[in-house]
Chains A and B, each alone.
Chain A
C-alpha cells in the first residue's frame, strides 16, 4: 500500500489546488499559496511537489490552452482525486484528534510558572 502521509508543503499545495478548483495550474497555485502564507514559493519546489503528488495519485492533471503571455505554452491544470481527498481528510482528522487530546492544562503555562 502506498503511504498516504502528506508533508506540510504537500498539504498546502493540495489545499490550494482544491481552492482554485478549475483554475489550478502552476502560476495560480504559486500565487494562491504566496498570498495566503506570505512566503515565497519557488517554481522548482512547487513543480516537484506537484509531480510527487501526481505520482502518488493524489492529483490528476489535464492539458489546457496556451495563451499569449505564456508564449503559447500550454497550461497544466490540476485537480484533486478521490484518493487525494481521502489523504487530506485523514491528515485533518489526525490533527483534530491530536488537538482534542491536548489537556487544557498545557495552555495555562502562565499559571504553572
Chain B
C-alpha cells in the first residue's frame, strides 16, 4: 500500500452485526427448495445453501437482508423474512417489479441461485424488552415485519403486548394468506387486517393503513411502533403515529433503496452521509429526522 494516510478509518462506527466472510461480492451457491405463489405478483422463495456446513453455520439477525442472484440477470436486495430460528432454509418474498425480480419469478425448485448475506443492520429488539410492540406492515412491506414479529413471538415472555396491523390493496394482494388464520387466532398476537376498498366476503377492516391505525389508536405508553411499506405509506403512517403520541425514537422502520454492492461502497443508497446498506436498513424515526429528507 502506498500513499501517506491521514485518515485510516471511518469517523463513525458501524454497529456490530453478523457479516459474511471472504470476498463480499462472491455469492454463496444455493438451490431453490420451494416456491410459494403469494399473490398475483409476489412469490416467496425458500433457498438452501449448497454447502451444508455453510447452511448450518449461517446466522443472521431479524431485519438483515440478502442479495439474491439469478446468474445472467443480476441480483437484488431482499430481507430474509424467515425468523433466525428457521435453520432449514432462507426465505425471500419478491414482488415482481423489474428485470431481476422477473427472473426470480421464473425460478423453479431445483434451480441454482446465489446468495450474499447477511447484510445490513437489524431491528433493535433487545431495546424493546418489557415493552409493547405494535407492528404495521403495508403490502410487500409485511416481509421484514414477518421476520421480527415471529422472532418476538418466539420470545414472547420478554415483551408486553404484541400487535399487528397488516394492510394490502385487496385480499388478493395479501402475502402469507395461509398464515393469517393462525395469526388472527393466536392469543399472543393482536392481529388486525385491512384492505383499501370494500371487497365481497371481506370480514376485516376496510380503509387505508394510517386511518385504520388512528381508529385502533394504540397507546404510545411503553410501546414501540415498527413499520414497513411503500414510501407513501411510511410517510402517512408516521404522521398517524406522531398524532397518537409516539415519540420519534419509538418509531422504527426499515428502508428500501436501489442497491448494488450492499457493502457501503457503490454510492447510491445514501441518505446524506449514511448508507442504507450498512447504516440501515433499520432506522428509528429519530435517526431519520437527523438526516436530510431524501427518502
Note whether A and B form a binding pair: no
Q: Name B's A-contacting residues (CB within 8 A).
A: none
